[in-house]
Amino acid sequence: MKVLPSTVNTTSVEFVSEALSKNDTVLEFYSPEVNCCSNCSDGQSVKTLLQLDNLSEELKGFNYHPNPCFDKLAKNVITETGIIIVTGQGFARAMTVKETQAFVGDTSCHVNILQDDKLILEVPSQPRARSTQHQLDITNGMLELVVKFGQKERSVGSVYYPRKDGIPLEIIIPAVIVPMVLFIAVSFYCYRRKSQQAEREYEKVKHQLESLEESVRDRCKKEFTDLMIEMEDHTSDLSEGRIPFLDYKTYTDRNFFLPSKEGADDPMIIGKIQIPEARRATVTQALNQFSNLLNSKTFLINFIHTLESRSDFNARSRGNFASLLTVALHGKLEYYTDIMRTLLLELMDEHVQNKNPKLMLRRSETVVERMLCNWMSICLYQFLRDIAGEPLYKLFKALKHQVEKGPVDARLKKAKYTLNDTRLLGDDVEYSVLTLQVLVHGEGPDVTPVKVLNCDTITQVKEKIIDQVYRNLPYSQRPKAEGVALEWRPGSTGQILSDLDLTSQKEGHLIRLNTLAHYNVRDNATLVLSRVLHTQSFHQHQDSHDEKNALLEEDNTFHLVRPTDEIDEVKSKRGSMKDKAMTKAITEIYLTRLLSVKGTLQQFVDDFFSSVLCTSSAVPPAVKYFFDFLDEQAERHDNVDEETLHIWKTNSLPMRFWVNILRNPHFIFDIHVTEVVDASLHVIGQTFMDACTKTEHKLSRESPSNKLLYAKEISTYKKMVDDYYGGIRQMVPVSDQDMNTHLAEVSRQHTDKLNTQVALHQLYQYASKYFDLIIQSLDQDPAAQNRQLTLRLQQVAAALENKVTDL
């Protein structure tokens, strides 16, 4: 490529550039360098030729501009801003910002702004000499500033960084480092000296934690294996004939009336009413007339509505009234069911209209809710005996056996083995297992081996002996611990064992209950159990007996663990207090015992849940009948979705019946439930409740231990509940006729065993209390007027209250 300036008249002046690369279609050149800027005006066009051997082709002309001119730097010092301004001419025409490069020493500068007469550079913080040929006097701090454009570069001048005057570095380093090192050394010495005691305490706690974790881990493994073997042996010989089911009357009494205000003294449980013999016939006839009134649907609905309208007719009264009504109408359960359905429809309409249908059947605050609970108890009694009773009894026995396998504090009601963390014994009590050879006085020479713990109180030993010796008898037929005496015969003479006697140890002002270890009873020792005759004289040792009774009444005894607010003066030294504080700080490590107990009982819990939530076996007809009734009502109301229907079913059966039976197995079995066992059953009952809810339980590290215990199994149990409800929906419907036939059979089998007359008499007490209001309600009802219900009630009142009237 050739360039011929137009200002040159001779053809001998030309500027040539050889091709950089070439092929058949492309030629690539650098633009030829023209060295006649002094003779060329700015931007003047030149003639451009392309020479290929003998072929010459003229191209479009190039515009050449003079090289930029740089002025002398106004300032050579680099300020704190790090900005250098270079002035001159022709910058913008000669180069662009991207192709412009600048260097201070050997370090590149950033080009901020490029104008035709000004170039603004950002100087690096620590430049160095660029090369030997461009290096200036580096020792004096002078650095060369070079600007490069295209194939050219221009040295603009020299710049330097201002030198900061100050103290020499040789003085600064020792002056700072030496005091700092001394300060750190002194501080570290003081810290080590003051923290030695805390470090020793930390190591001590750490060692205790490691030891406890190791021992708990090993103990859990061993006890899990041992307990499973023992529980299999314990339940292998269990058969339905040996399960102590309650008879129907006791079962209904406990479900209906045991939680009442009077408890075991409730007239319905006693079965007697105080009536003079002269009036017995009159009262009996009047109660029969009152029974006829209750069999009038118009009267009964008015009766219930009137009572529930009164504010003083509280939840306890409503529950008692419903239970009395259940017994009184037990002879006509199909009529009772019709009344319950009518009241339930009213309750549904009320909740749906108030836009809170999910709250229906949540509690037993109305008469009909308690009636439903009693109806389920009646209809599921046979199902309990045939199917669900055995796994429930095995679960109870397994839980009781495991609780009693370890220490149980008789005063605090806390145990080493439990499912409830509030009942967990937080201290590591040393104990050993003893096998006692027990003779029962007056029942032959047979010896019964009984396993006990050497830390058991004498009462606990008595209870374990009674459980083993009389294991084939229901609890109500067994002797009680306070009704028997225990005698130890280590040699020729015997010694009566008791929780408190003159040998009891006194620690401060507290007295420790006597245990087998206190009496030094050994393994395979022989003990004699004998009945206490209440007619015998107890005046012997009267002073010691009075003293023991006084000690018990003052509640100043303890068993395994002393109350936390009582610290003996002898053990209140500084060291003992620290040990006690550390022990309390690590009590949560014992929570691993909950997992051991849960793992051992898991199969028993699963078996019970499966027996209750299984549709492959016989489902009670009452459950299918009532669930279909709920399905029909859900379709009748637009704002009742699947979740609400699920809640209705859960509140009517699992929450209302199964959780109640699970938490209170003595409502179906003739057994005794201790407080520790009861607390563990409540944990399983809560798990059953959680499984029946649609709510997802979000757990965290702060969640209660009882919730975390079964967190893994909850999803499985929830699916069992969903499958159970779905399976019932797919079953063949139970017709009204079939249901009435079933209810009539239940009435025929059991009504004569119940205290119907007592229930009628108790029901009339409510009628008497609200007599005027009931009369007023009946007078306002045309149907009641047609049947003369007001007159009939007044006649009953006259006969029962022995009033002289003109009726």
pLDDT single digits (tens) 363-382: 778 999 999 999 999 999 99
Residue 535 has pLDDT above 70, yes or no: no
Which pLDDT tens digit goes with each residue over 546-575?
555 555 544 689 999 887 644 444 444 445
**Average pLDDT over all residues of the chain:** 83
Average confidence (pLDDT) over 216-242: 59
Averaged pLDDT, 273-293: 86
Task: Answer for the pair 426, 212: CB distance below 8 angstroms, yes or no.
Answer: no
CA angle centred on 604, ends 599 and 605, rounded to 5° = 80
Name the least confident of 270-279, 580-589, 754-763: 580-589
For residue 615, what are the contacts with CB-CB under 8 A and spacing of at least 6? Answer: 723, 724, 727, 728, 731
- Under the banding of pLDDT at 50, 70 and 90, the label for residue 584 is very low
766 vs 113, residue with greater confidence: 766
Q: Which residue has the tokens 């009891």?
A: 504
As a whole number of angstroms, the distance between CA 318 and CA 315 comes to 5
Cα gap 760→290, rounded to integer Å? 7
pLDDT band at 730 (very low <50, low <70, confident <90, very high): very high
Q: Work out the average pLDDT over 464-491.
A: 91
What average pLDDT does range 783-797 have in this prediction?
92
Residues pairing with 51 in the sheet: 56
Task: Indicate whether 101 pLDDT > 90.
Answer: no
Q: What is the pLDDT of residues 673-701, one digit of tens each?
A: 999 999 999 999 999 999 998 887 776 66
For position 212, what pLDDT does the model report? 62
Least confident of 389-398, 544-553, 631-640, 744-753: 544-553
Query: Which of 51-55, 225-229, 464-468, 799-803 ranks highest by mean pLDDT?
Result: 464-468
Give me the residue label for tokens 């406990």. 254
Q: Measure the CA–CA gap between 350 and 329, rounded to whole angstroms.
A: 26
**β-strand 15-16 against 408-409: which pairing, if any?**
unpaired
Please give the share of the chain, as a percent, with pLDDT higher than 70. Answer: 82
How far is C-alpha 466 from the chain's CA centre?
38
Q: Which 3 state secondary structure label does DSSP give 285?
A: helix
CA distance 123 to 81: 9
Residue 165's pLDDT is 63
- Which alpha helices (DSSP H) does 380-489 contain, by range? 381-383, 389-405, 458-469
Of all residues in the chain, the percent with pLDDT exceeding 90 is 44
Mean pLDDT of 444-472: 92
Residue 348: predicted pLDDT: 92
Which of 29-38, 142-151, 488-497 bottoms out in mean pLDDT, i.e. has the lowest? 29-38
What pLDDT does residue 205 have? 72
pLDDT at 703 over 70: yes
Q: Give pLDDT, residue 213.
A: 66
Do β-strands 526-531 and 433-440 pair in parallel, antiparallel, or remain unpaired? parallel
pTM of the model: 0.70
The tokens describing 581, both together, are 């504080």
The pLDDT of residue 540: 43
Q: Please report, in angstroms and rounded to a whole number, the separation of the first and last CA atoms in the chain.
A: 143
Q: Is the pLDDT of residue 723 over 90?
A: yes
How far apart are the C-alpha atoms of 351 and 644, rounded to whole Å?
Answer: 12
Looking at residue 9, its pLDDT comes to 56
Residue 276 pLDDT > 80: no
For position 155, what pLDDT does the model report?
A: 87
Integer Cα distance of 736 and 742 in angstroms? 10
Render pLDDT for 632-686 as a digit per residue (tens, 0 to 9). Answer: 999 988 778 899 999 999 999 888 899 999 999 999 999 999 999 999 999 999 9
**pLDDT score, position 567:** 47
Q: Specify the residue for token string 């507290």.
A: 510
Among candidate residues 688, 696, 698, the one with its CA nearest the CA of residue 724: 688
Confidence band of 66 (pLDDT split at 50, 70, 90): confident
Indicate the pLDDT class of residue 217, thresholds 50, 70 and 90: low
CA distance 615 to 651: 19
Name the band, by pLDDT with cuts 50, 70 and 90, for residue 360: confident
Mode of pairing for the β-strands spanning 484-488 and 526-531: antiparallel
* Distance in angstroms (rounded) separating the CA atoms of residues 578 and 198: 12
Contact 651, 361 (CB under 8 A): yes
- Six token digits for residue 209: 């934690």
Confidence of residue 45 (pLDDT cuts 50, 70, 90): low
Q: How far apart are CA 336 and CA 378, in angstroms?
A: 12
Mean pLDDT, to the nearest integer, of 327-346? 96
Residue 596 has a pLDDT of 82
SS3 assignment, position 245: strand
Question: 421 vs 545, which has greater pLDDT?
Answer: 421
For residue 795, the model assigns a pLDDT of: 92
CB atoms within 10 A of CB 258: 17
Where residue 127 falls among pLDDT bands split at 50, 70, 90? low
The pLDDT tens digits for 344-353 are 999 999 988 8
